[in-house]
Amino acid sequence: MSLCFSLNVSTLNSPKYHSHKAHFSSQFINQIQVNSLSHSLPSFTLNSSLPFKFSVKRINPIRASTATSVEATQFSFRNKNPKDINIAVVGSTGYIGKFVVKELINRGFNVIAVAREKSGIKGKNSKEETLNQLQGANVCFSDVTKLETLEKSLNGFGVSVDVVVSCLASRTGGVKDSWKIDYEATKNSLVAGKKNGAKHFVLLSAICVQKPLLEFQRAKLKFEAELIREAEMDSGFTYSIVRPTAFFKSLGGQVELVKDGKPYVMFGDGNLCACKPISEEDLASFIADCVLSEDKINQILPIGGPGKALTPLEQGEILFRLLGKKPNFLKVPIGIMDFAIGVLDFLVKIFPSMEDAAEFGKIGRYYAAESMLVLDPDTGEYSAERTPSYGEDTLEEFFEKVLREGMAGQELGEQAIF
């Protein structure tokens, strides 16, 4: 079932795809810290006989494209004014997705926000809460995992789609969930978008796919390859693949613990995994740039935040300085995680149902050891110099905010592994 909400009835009837880093490790770290110290309508044609009630007072009207049919949109949508460009956003209620929707609306685009009927962490948000969260967008309740449903939902608006922006990501990183969301659902968004006229696809991917050792990375790469191939076969279709580094929230799991006097936990010597973290607002702005910027057409775009790359050791030093405390680090051998993964891999052979648990262990190990920077193809090493910077928000400013206000709104939710 798909439910689409838009204010302008006459318009409806007009012609017509980030950092799991602390997701494992910050939760795992929390346990270490505690232990060491104590001892995350069908798109519908209005029918007065339907007994359905809904609120539309927050929703802006979607404008029909200048073209009267999908076939007539062969000219570049980039020649239009933002108010005449229709952008479908899938994954619109996710951590980054909701900021992308807000940024696109602020830039004057017409946004079709595709959302689940039960959105948010563990599906806790109702339709009314989702409408509140996505104010200014034309909200479409649909199911991205079902192609036919998604196609009908988009088609039901009666207007062509110019651009699809995918912010979809597996909720857990589990094996089946990764292929269901990072590949299949994202591909459904491409197929449904193109059938409704989309000429450009902006994909939120992840920088870690450069060294694919995990299922969600392989799933993302498979879709990336098919997206690139689609553009090669269709000269009128383009893409932008955005590969961000670590998100701020993935590095904030220890702030309140350190504030309470606990040590800052690092794996190895604290220099194993560097990154140029980027805020959700800055990343949303970069993604929005990809809609019209011709220099981002048919490009894979790694992107980090401003400033130098930071190791966990340097992140901890920033935090202690802000707190005015003497640095107190707890260094955990990476071999502990290797041992746990070995045990889980053995148990999976006996109990196949533990497949995801083993995968979660590998995710944690990956982000505890691998840098979130561009991998230099010449040296095989991660390169801070090759990792582009964007935006203004810094990790230090984020830490300051968390120290004042806590981690509200930055919960790991279903992506928290332990």
Check residue 122 and give its pLDDT.
56
Q: Which amino acid is at 68?
A: T
Reading the block at residue 298, the tokens are 């048919």
Check residue 67 and give its pLDDT.
37
Check residue 235 and give its pLDDT.
92
- Residue of 169, 161, 172 lying closest to 92 (CA atoms): 169
Q: Are 153 and 177 in contact (CB under 8 A)?
A: no
Please state whether the predicted TM-score (pTM) of the whole model is above 0.85.
Answer: no
Check residue 76 and give its pLDDT.
83
Of 154-158, 339-343, 395-399, the one with minimum mean pLDDT is 154-158
Check residue 123 and give its pLDDT.
58
Highest mean pLDDT among 31-35, 132-136, 155-159: 132-136
Question: Does 214 score more than 90 pLDDT?
Answer: yes
Local confidence band at 53 (pLDDT 50, 70, 90 cut-offs): very low
Give the orientation angle of helix 395-405 with respect to helix 312-323, to 10 degrees.
50
Burial of 379 (0-12, 13-18, 19+ CB in 10 A): exposed
Question: Does 270 score more than 80 pLDDT?
Answer: yes
- In which residue are the tokens 């690092």 written? 266
- Residue of 238, 371, 248 lying closest to 301 (CA atoms): 238
Local confidence band at 157 (pLDDT 50, 70, 90 cut-offs): confident
Strands annotated E in 37-186:
86-90, 110-115, 138-141, 163-166
Of 194-203, 238-247, 358-367, the one with minimum mean pLDDT is 358-367
Check residue 9 and give its pLDDT.
28
The separation between CA 339 and the C-alpha centre of its own chain, rounded to angstroms, equals 31
Burial of 239 (0-12, 13-18, 19+ CB in 10 A): buried
416 or 64, higher pLDDT: 416
- Residue of 85, 70, 261 lying closest to 163 (CA atoms): 85
C-alpha dist (Å) from residue 37 to 28, 168, 221, 262: 15, 39, 42, 7
Query: How many angstroms separate the CA atoms of 388 and 297, rounded?
Result: 17
Of 164-168, 276-280, 376-380, the one with minimum mean pLDDT is 376-380
Check residue 412 and give its pLDDT.
53
Beta bridge partner(s), residue 166? 90, 203
What mean pLDDT is predicted for residues 107-115?
A: 95
Reading the block at residue 303, the tokens are 């992107």
The separation between CA 253 and the C-alpha centre of its own chain, rounded to angstroms, equals 18
Question: Does 246 score more than 70 pLDDT?
Answer: yes
Question: Does 281 score more than 60 pLDDT?
Answer: yes
What share of the chain has pLDDT > 70, as a percent? Answer: 78
Check residue 144 and give its pLDDT.
95
Check residue 75 and give its pLDDT.
57
- Buried-exposed string 202-216: b where 16+ CB fall within 10 A, e elsewhere: bbbbbbbbbeeebbb
Check residue 331 and give its pLDDT.
93
- Residue of 303, 187, 253, 304 lying closest to 407 (CA atoms): 253
Local confidence band at 298 (pLDDT 50, 70, 90 cut-offs): very high
Reading the block at residue 265, the tokens are 């936990």
Check residue 188 and give its pLDDT.
97
Beta bridge partner(s), residue 241? 203, 300
Other beta carbons less than 10 A from residue 257's beta carbon: 18
Question: Does 129 score more than 90 pLDDT?
Answer: no
Beta-strand pair 374-375/382-383: antiparallel
Q: What is the pLDDT of residues 27-48, one digit of tens each?
A: 444 444 444 433 333 333 323 3
56 or 319, higher pLDDT: 319
C-alpha dist (Å) from residue 360 to 74, 355, 410: 44, 9, 20
Query: How many angstroms separate the CA atoms of 305 and 163, rounded?
Result: 25
Question: Does 56 score more than 80 pLDDT?
Answer: no
Local confidence band at 411 (pLDDT 50, 70, 90 cut-offs): low
159 or 369, higher pLDDT: 369
Check residue 183 and give its pLDDT.
97
Other beta carbons less than 10 A from residue 384's beta carbon: 16
Task: Give the 3-state secondary structure of 143-178.
Answer: CCCCHHHHHHHHHCCCCCCCEEEECCCCCCCCHHHH
Check residue 66 and give its pLDDT.
36
- In which residue are the tokens 């690139």 written? 228
- Residue of 90, 145, 86, 115 lying closest to 4 (CA atoms): 115
